[in-house]
């Protein structure tokens, strides 16, 4: 049953990710295809009765996700391809194509790329050399200049494609990635709260399950660099991009949201380690006291899950204010923060009781996690952080992110103490 639930949760998450990323992926594939076909048509017109495949090859290598990355690495890509073609032409004029000559060519190409300091594009020198040597080893010398010209045509078409048809600013993709990170944390905390309820307060059972939660928390923190890469693409996508003119920069809000969730994930991971150590300790009470401790901990975990989910929704909504109700998401965050304040008060009271060193250390660790999330998800601090980031980058904040942080009232509680947060997996809105 546990395996089936895990597979179902994973499948649901992957399906949601596919729905969100399908349209941008199709648009990106279309841009690549159009650039490659255009370069082939242009090269065929310049060199009739040939198959100028190096033109579309170079166009695919040159076309970048963002205009600023084109300027940063486009020249290196052109140099790497031209260097590889030149090496292959010179090499074919001296030695025949064989396994040993291919190895020598690859080694020389890599060393040549290192000498040119091509960095990430270094390997493309060897790739281009192998392609030219394989496609035209018999007449490489006579067709060398034509192949270099094809390379330049492909590079020119790739640059023109990116400048004339710039890509869409990827703020929505970064917002979705950050929201998925918060969803991963929310699912982990939800499941931990649910499994604590079935442990009966037994220390061995809690320790065994805490090991699983700790492993998953490590997995979540390992996904943070990929989310940071999506945010970096969104930030770079605005620079030198005519499609970003006249639009508010949501980068500061996304940056603050990622930093807050990153710090929260580390705190949650440390909390699960404290739960594991406390439950594994010989001083853990395997009686009704243990059951009460587990019940209280499950409630705190649920409130943490609500807070993380609400904050992730807010970050995503502010990245796409035209598609989401930012004011409603601010209400949700305020309600979740109210619940975390109550959890902080309960834990502070428990620290004043004589519960023994094991439970004292556990409650102190959980209290530190609650305080960390309260600090990271504070709406006032979020606005201040965005303003500092905006001043540093000289950008303009979207109005909803600045206005709604402290002026909206708290949402009403229901009789169960919940503040209306959604339970279970959420669907695309």
List Cα–Cα distances, 328 to 18, 69, 172, 293, 423, in angstroms: 26, 36, 19, 34, 17
Is 231 found in the same domain as 102? no
Indicate whether 3 belongs to any domain: no
**How much is the average pLDDT of 271-282?**
90
Residues 198 and 299 in one domain: yes
- Range in 288-292, 322-326, 397-401 with the lowest mean pLDDT: 397-401
Residue 133 and residue 49 share a domain: yes
* Tens-digit pLDDT profile for residues 379-406: 888 888 878 777 765 444 454 443 444 3
Pair (243, 350) in one structural domain: yes
Q: Among residues of the chain, what percentage have pLDDT more than 70?
A: 77
Residue 14 located in a structural domain: no
**Within a domain: 426:** no
Distance CA 17, CA 428 (A): 10
Same domain? For 247 and 149 the reply is no
Whether 89 and 53 share a structural domain: yes
Is residue 289 one of the residues assigned to a domain? yes
pLDDT in tens, 328-368: 889 999 999 999 999 999 999 888 887 788 899 999 999 99
- Residue that terminates a domain, selected from 106, 140, 164: 164
Residues 155 and 181 in one domain: no
Residue 232 maps to a domain:
yes
Instruction: Say yes or no: 261 and 316 in one domain.
Output: yes
Do 159 and 36 lie in one domain? The reply is yes
Same domain, 69 and 122: yes
pLDDT score of 422 more than 60: no
- Is residue 297 located within the same domain as residue 339? yes
The pLDDT tens digits of the residues spanning 50-96 come to: 778 778 877 887 776 566 666 656 677 778 877 887 888 778 777 77
Mean pLDDT, residues 219-231 taken together: 89
The answer to whether residue 416 is domain-embedded is: no
Q: Which of 164, 197, 219 is the last residue of a domain?
A: 164
Closest to 170 in 3D by CA, of 98, 243, 80: 243
Domain CATH number, residue 396: 1.20.58.220
Residue where a domain stops, chosen among 136, 164, 192: 164
Tell whether 428 is covered by a domain: no
Cα–Cα distance for residue pair 384/150, rounded to 1 Å: 52
For residue 392, give the H/E element and its range. helix 379-393
On whether the CB atoms of residues 125 and 80 are closer than 8 A, the answer is yes
Q: Looking at the predicted structure, is the pLDDT value of residue 1 above 60? A: no
Q: How many domains does one find in the chain?
A: 2
Is residue 135 pLDDT above 70, yes or no? no
**Mean pLDDT rounded to a whole number for the chain:** 78
Please tell me the predicted confidence (pLDDT) of residue 259: 92
Residues of the chain with pLDDT > 90, as a percent, come to: 25
Range of the domain at 50: 25-164
Task: Please give the structure tokens belonging to residue 417.
Answer: 């103490």
- Say whether both 142 and 249 belong to one domain: no
- Distances in Å between the Cα of 295 and the Cα atoms of 124, 206, 288, 289 are 58, 12, 10, 10
In this predicted structure, the answer to whether residue 411 has a pLDDT above a threshold of 70 is no
Q: Is residue 429 in a domain? A: no
Could you read off the pLDDT of 178-199 as tens digits, one per residue? 999 999 999 999 999 988 877 6
């Amino acid at each position: 049953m546990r395996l089936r639930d895990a597979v179902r949760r994973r499948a649901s998450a992957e399906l949601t990710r596919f729905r969100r990323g399908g349209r941008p992926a199709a648009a990106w594939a279309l841009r690549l295809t159009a650039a490659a076909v255009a370069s082939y048509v242009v090269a065929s017109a310049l060199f009739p009765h040939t198959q100028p495949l190096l033109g579309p090859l170079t166009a695919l290598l040159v076309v970048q996700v963002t205009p600023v990355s084109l300027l940063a690495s486009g020249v290196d890509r052109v140099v790497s391809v031209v260097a590889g073609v030149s090496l292959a032409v010179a090499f074919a004029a001296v030695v025949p194509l064989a396994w040993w000559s291919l190895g020598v060519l690859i080694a020389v190409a890599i060393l040549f790329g290192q000498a040119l300091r091509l960095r990430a594009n270094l390997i493309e020198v060897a790739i281009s050399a192998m392609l030219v040597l394989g496609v035209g080893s018999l007449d490489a010398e006579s067709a060398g200049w034509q192949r270099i010209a094809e390379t330049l045509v492909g590079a020119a078409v790739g640059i023109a494609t990116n400048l004339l048809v710039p890509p869409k600013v990827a703020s929505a993709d970064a917002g979705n990635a950050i929201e998925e990170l918060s969803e991963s944390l929310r699912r982990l905390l939800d499941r931990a709260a649910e499994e604590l309820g079935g442990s009966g307060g037994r220390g061995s059972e809690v320790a065994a399950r805490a090991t699983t939660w700790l492993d998953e928390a490590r997995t979540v923190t390992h996904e943070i660099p990929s989310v940071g890469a999506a945010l970096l693409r969104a930030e770079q996508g605005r620079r030198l991009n005519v499609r970003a003119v006249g639009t508010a920069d949501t980068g500061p809000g996304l940056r603050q949201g990622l930093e807050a969730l990153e710090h929260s994930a580390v705190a949650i991971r440390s909390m699960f380690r404290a739960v594991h150590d406390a439950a594994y300790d010989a001083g853990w009470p395997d009686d009704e006291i243990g059951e009460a401790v587990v019940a209280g901990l499950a409630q705190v975990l649920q409130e943490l899950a609500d807070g993380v989910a609400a904050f992730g929704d807010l970050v995503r909504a502010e990245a796409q204010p035209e598609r989401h109700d930012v004011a409603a998401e601010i209400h949700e965050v305020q309600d979740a923060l109210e619940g975390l304040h109550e959890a902080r008060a309960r834990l502070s009271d428990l620290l004043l009781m004589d519960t023994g060193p094991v439970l004292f250390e556990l409650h102190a660790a959980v209290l530190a996690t609650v305080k960390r999330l309260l600090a990271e998800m504070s709406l006032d601090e979020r606005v201040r952080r965005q303003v500092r980031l905006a001043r540093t980058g000289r950008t303009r904040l979207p109005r909803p992110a600045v206005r709604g942080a402290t002026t909206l009232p708290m949402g009403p509680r229901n009789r169960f103490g919940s503040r209306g947060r959604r339970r279970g997996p959420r669907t695309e809105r």
